[in-house]
């Protein structure tokens, strides 16, 4: 077909996290589709449209996320290759010209594994697809480690959490704590080198989103890729100062703007406002009575469930673990499953007995995604009532709108002022790890080990747009992507964070020259 008649497509891959499913990414998909589903290039030619297609792998759900980054990554790789090959076969008038990858939580690490294979072992499929944006949201790039210095935490809770996390989350848990043993380096260290680093460097843009508070799963420092954490060091008692110059303010669906923290304005002497006595009593009752009761009841049940999951993962990955000791055999095995020839649609995956018949799963995926998209379309009129989940904090910031409607506003074209504001914003948040930055002088380094120092050094060799964000929610790790869906319980600040990310990608797409 003539190049002028070919429909250019931008593929966005959405990878969920630990103990999750592809449905966790539905809110993100809906917001992104609204913000940059169709991009008119900056030449204002209405016929020059680049459409976005979304792909959320479905093979790694629940217990399967315990299997370790490598096997989760290979499952995802097989699905992705299959999707791209079949898309081009079934859409002769369309061509995927760009790929962006978004990883949430553990999915950010899986995404780094996948791209490393896409542009090396699977380059025949991806050779004509340009790596565009790589994004991680609340992903533990430096693994998980606890640095809280309080006596209760350092002597009892932190060792207990480390033991539980590394024992009852299967191979993935050991990898996150960087205690995975074997003849090779820990996988988090390998992911910052060789083919994985090469693939990461190919992307035109890289973005990090890190929660500053109430993310009890992934701390700020590891999501931000830094060896400093003002929020751990201060016990999260600092007053937050938010970015005043948010680009494209008119493109948000309400009065709530993303609460992006200005790190250079953080100061030990400037504490958050003291809470009133009533709130303090409520918190004391919650954390000293209610929470311990829930923990006593919940932990035995959770331990049993996770033990079953770990056992399931161990048995299900026996074949993989034998192959993983011999890289060449493993690579050949996976290539066979990806089927780089024209017979890709005939393969039946059996990697670790977890990659199932892809032709059947393709229909399942398409139907599930269409159903979810239709559901979100029907929910466009949901009205947010009464604000976000209260994290018992009165920060005196923007009042939460009582009439915020989801996915209802037409995204306007960028003005010259929008472009200028985005340029300044990106420049500022691409350099917030420069040694000249004030916050790096104010706060002390964490006592990270050599493995984490190596990861930090290597990942810092590429440029990142680093965004520290505050989501007002009891569970910011979930709220930052509106994991439970877009409805009246969605934290407005979490929804605003998704809108911000969608608008940032929209700007990068519209100002991209190719």
Catalytic machinery residues = 105
| Residue position matching structure tokens 């979304």 | 54
User: Ramachandran region of residue 68, left (φ > 0), alpha (ψ -120 to 50) or beta?
Assistant: left
Beta strands at 130-137 and 205-211: parallel, antiparallel or unpaired: parallel
- Those residues whose C-beta lies under 8 Å from the C-beta of residue 182, and which sit 6 or more positions away, are 325
Helix (H, G, I), strand (E, B) or coil at 188: helix
Q: Please check whether residue 17 is in contact with residue 111, taking contact to mean a CB–CB distance below 8 angstroms.
A: no
How far apart, in whole angstroms, are the C-alpha atoms of residue 514 and residue 507? 14
Distances (CA, A) of 239 to 212, 278, 441, 462: 12, 21, 18, 31
**Distance from chain centroid for Cα 286:** 30
How far apart, in whole angstroms, are the C-alpha atoms of residue 229 and residue 458? 19
Q: Please check whether residue 437 is in contact with residue 264, taking contact to mean a CB–CB distance below 8 angstroms.
A: yes
User: Ramachandran region of residue 254, left (φ > 0), alpha (ψ -120 to 50) or beta?
Assistant: left
Beta strands at 7-15 and 205-211: parallel, antiparallel or unpaired: unpaired
**Distance from chain centroid for Cα 6:** 32
Burial class (CB in 10 A: 0-12, 13-18, 19+), 470: buried
Residue 268: half-sphere exposure toward Cβ, Cα within 13 Å: 9
Beta strands at 49-55 and 7-15: parallel, antiparallel or unpaired: parallel
């Amino acid at each position: 077909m003539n190049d002028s008649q070919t429909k250019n497509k931008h593929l966005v891959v959405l990878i969920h996290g630990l103990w999750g499913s592809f449905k966790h990414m539905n809110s993100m998909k809906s917001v992104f589709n609204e913000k940059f589903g169709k991009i008119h290039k900056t030449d204002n030619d209405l016929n020059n449209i680049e459409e976005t297609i979304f792909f959320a792998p479905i093979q790694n759900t629940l217990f399967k996320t315990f299997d370790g980054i490598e096997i989760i990554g290979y499952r995802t790789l097989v699905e992705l290759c299959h999707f791209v090959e079949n898309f081009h076969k079934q859409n002769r008038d369309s061509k995927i010209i760009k790929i962006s990858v978004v990883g949430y939580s553990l999915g950010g690490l899986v995404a780094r594994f996948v791209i490393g294979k896409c542009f090396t072992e699977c380059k025949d499929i991806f050779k004509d697809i340009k790596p565009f944006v790589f994004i991680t949201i609340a992903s533990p790039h430096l693994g998980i480690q606890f640095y809280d210095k309080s006596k209760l935490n350092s002597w009892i809770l932190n060792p207990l959490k480390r033991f539980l996390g590394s024992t009852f989350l299967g191979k993935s848990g050991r990898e996150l704590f960087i205690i995975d043993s074997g003849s090779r380096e820990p996988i988090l260290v390998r992911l910052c080198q060789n083919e994985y680093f090469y693939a990461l460097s190919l992307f035109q843009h890289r973005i990090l989103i890190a929660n500053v508070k109430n993310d009890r799963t992934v701390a700020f420092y590891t999501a931000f890729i830094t060896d400093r954490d003002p929020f751990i060091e201060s016990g999260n008692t600092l007053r937050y100062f938010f970015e005043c110059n948010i680009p494209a303010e008119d493109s948000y669906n309400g009065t709530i703007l993303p609460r992006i923290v200005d790190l250079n304005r953080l100061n030990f002497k400037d504490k958050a406002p003291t809470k009133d006595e009533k709130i303090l009593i409520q918190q004391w009752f919650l954390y000293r009575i209610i929470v311990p009761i829930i923990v006593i009841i919940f932990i035995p049940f959770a331990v049993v469930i996770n033990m079953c999951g770990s056992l399931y993962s161990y048995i299900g990955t026996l074949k993989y673990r034998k192959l993983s000791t011999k890289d060449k055999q493993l690579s050949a095995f996976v290539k066979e499953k990806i089927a780089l020839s024209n017979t890709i649609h005939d393969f039946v995956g059996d990697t670790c007995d977890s990659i199932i018949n892809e032709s059947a799963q393709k229909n399942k995926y398409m139907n599930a995604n269409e159903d979810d998209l239709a559901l979100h379309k029907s929910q466009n009129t949901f009205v947010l009532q009464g604000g976000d989940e209260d994290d018992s904090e009165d920060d005196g910031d923007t009042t939460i709108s009582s009439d915020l409607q989801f996915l209802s506003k037409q995204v306007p074209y960028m003005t010259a002022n929008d472009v200028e504001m985005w340029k300044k914003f990106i420049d500022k948040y691409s350099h917030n790890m420069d040694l000249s930055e004030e916050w790096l002088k104010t706060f002390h380094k964490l006592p990270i080990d050599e493995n984490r120092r190596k990861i930090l050094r290597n990942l810092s060799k590429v440029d990142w747009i680093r965004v520290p964000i505050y989501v007002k929610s009891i569970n910011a790790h979930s709220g930052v992507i509106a994991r439970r869906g877009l409805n009246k319980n969605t934290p407005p600040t979490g929804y605003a964070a998704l809108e911000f990310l969608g608008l940032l990608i929209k700007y990068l797409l519209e100002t991209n020259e190719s």
